[in-house]
Chains A and B, each alone.
Chain A
Amino acid sequence: MTTFEAILLTIVTASTPLLIAALGELVTERSGVLNLGVEGMMAMGAACSFAAAVTFDSTLLGVAAGMMAGALMAALFALLVLGFAANQTGSGLALTILGLGLSGLIGAPFVGARRDPIAPVDIPGLSDIPVVGRLFFEQDLFVYASLALTILVAIYLVKTRSGLTLRSIGENHTSANALGLPVRQVRFWAILFGGACAGLAGAYLALVYTRFWSPGMTAGRGWIALALVVFAAWRPAWVLVGAYIFGAATVLQLHAQAAQFGVPSQVLSAVPYLATIIALLLLSIRHGRAIGAPGSLGVPFVPDR
């Protein structure tokens, strides 16, 4: 394996959890709900997936537990913002704090345990293609799943009737409600999907990326996922691009340091965030407004209003 290939492989690993979490949040936000609890749901996903994987010695059960944990946290959030029309910003922040604390409690007995790496899945024939072959066809299942998920979410939102319903509810929930669309029901499932994705991203962190659990190991990735949705102007394809830019910038700055390029590491660490700001600037210059944001995003919905 050449250094170049090795770098690309690391970038894929760094980008995948961001991509999965951001896709989930994108669907939630397109339905008009802003869930700032991604970090908390991700932490719960990491803790529960690791706990289950160690207890039952099964990566698959671990992944299932991680997604369940994320979805359960999301259900709690849904109860607050849909059931009681609570403030979404406040509820989301509370969810993050709750998730970080609760994950520490659940994970406490598993501190110090470790899992063996999961085997990459080789796609015969395709993985022999130089460079690209190893990069895209000799990854763990999560990577394939994340790429498939991107395509599925894109098709769902643009090409299906159900996706259209979700988007129209996100654009204007009052009109959608007047048309008889089930606003709260659709939003409930969208929130749950976002939670399951955040949980899956957490499971990836704990089971593939680091292969151990420790409190606070999500280290702000949930917040980056939130930023990615804005960066991508609420479009799945751009989430994919953004996640890989973030992953690449993080990994490349580490390599630049090791290769002694002489650029201060602090500046290099800031590159992904500078990239977000520049992308946002370019997008708004091109479109003249904060494009893509669903019209009802973050507004509490009460049916009879």
Chain B
Amino acid sequence: MFSGKVFGALAGATVLALSASGAVAQPKEKVKVGFIYVGPVGDHGWSYQHDQGRQAIEKAFPGKVTTTFVESVPEADSERAIEQLARTGHDLIFTTSFGFMEPTLKVAKKYPNIKFEHATGFKRAPNLSTYAAKFHEGRYIIGQIAGKMTKSNTIGYVGAFPIPEVIAGINAFYLGAQSVNPNVKIKIVFANTWYDPAKEGDAAKALLDQGVDMLAQHTDSPAPIQAAEQRGKFGFGQASDMERFAPKAQLTAIVDNWSDYYVARTKAVLDGTWKSEDTWGGINAHMVVMSPYKNMPDDVKKLAQDTEAAIKSGQLNPFKCPIVGQDGKEIECKGQGALSDEQVLGMNFYVKGIEDKIPQ
């Protein structure tokens, strides 16, 4: 599963990696970058988008960078795969799933001269950065579109698991819908899987059968939006642009764009300016990208574009205070005029107006 072309540069890169040892970062002539993916590159979603980022690096620094990836790495067995990359002369290693956190930390401590980057985690070290994206910003926008477009006044959400990341997405989506349509109702189904196309499709059909006409999803395959297409309803793509699966149904997609970040971090290693950091970027940082708004009236499109611009400029925060919980009590505001990052990352409540309960 290693991409073939890297082996030619292997010997040279190893020598460089050795010569670059020592605490002081120095500019490099050539950099070898490795990626660990949790799913197959062909999942159309999460891992696919990370691989787009890898390809962007290759394009950005022709002749200077070689990349390697290992796909479908089980989280339980990831330490071996990460260490394999560390031993084969990689200067920068991206591990792209939450479950890779502990193994990445362990390997990072063993190889202090190699830079590591872990997606969606919270444990850092002098040579280990973390990064994630504020997808809930995109979910607020699609919520507004759904709130405007719904005819049955019932919108639906296929979630993977009831974990904070997904809960925050549901709340942002619903808050967006509520901001333009105060009486809108939401129905939520958890598929209890990130990736099972058939089951995700069934979850979507269950929602559509029960009167939902706008479908958002937080699972990885295009099956839910495809179900919406088949029923003549509307939906939103997840992680990558899913228009080819639902040309009439996709209103927009929340696209994970890691390319800019990956290119910037690779450049930092080349320049010798890499530092351990925590990055949580949104629309502003171009980590969250909305695919073209389609299949909707012009006024809805304008609304979506305005909201996107407002979020980008920082005028609008989907979790701006006051946020009211299901019990009608206001949530304590720990950030500046909005919920703090910690509150969003650890979200375990539904906002007022959602009638469902979080499965405990």
- Residues of A bordering B, CB below 8 Å: 3, 6-7, 10, 13-14, 17, 104, 107-108, 111-112, 114, 117, 205, 209-212, 214-217, 219-221, 250-251, 254-255, 257-260, 262, 264-266, 269
Contact = CB atoms under 8 A, between A and B. Distances in A.
Given A212-B226, A257-B190, A262-B357, A250 B209 contact: no
Interface string B63-74: 000000000100
Contacts of B206: 7, 10, 251, 254-255, 257-258
A219 B191 CA distance: 13
B198 interface: yes
Interface in B170-202: 187-193, 195-199, 201-202
A6 B196 contact: no
A264 to B, nearest CB: 4
B193 A219 contact: yes
Interface secondary structure of A, over-half rule: helix
Contacts of A262: 357
B38 to A, nearest CB: 12
B50 interface: no
B210 A255 contact: yes
Contact of B244 (A6, A112, A210): A112
Contacts of B192: 265-266, 269
Interface residues of B, number: 41
Interface of B: 39-40, 42-44, 72, 156, 162, 187-193, 195-199, 201-203, 205-207, 209-210, 212, 221-223, 226, 230, 244-245, 355-357, 359-360
A6 to B, nearest CB: 4
A33 to B, nearest CB: 28
B197 A219 contact: yes
B355 A260 contact: yes
Contacts, number: 112
Nearest to A215: B40
B43 A215 contact: yes
A217 B43 CA distance: 9
Contacts of A212: 197, 222-223, 226, 245
A220 B355 CA distance: 33
A6 B208 CA distance: 10
B44 A257 contact: no
Nearest to A264: B359
Contacts of B162: 265
A25 to B, nearest CB: 19
A112 to B, nearest CB: 6
Max chain B C-beta neighbours (<10 A), residue from A7, A210, A259: A210
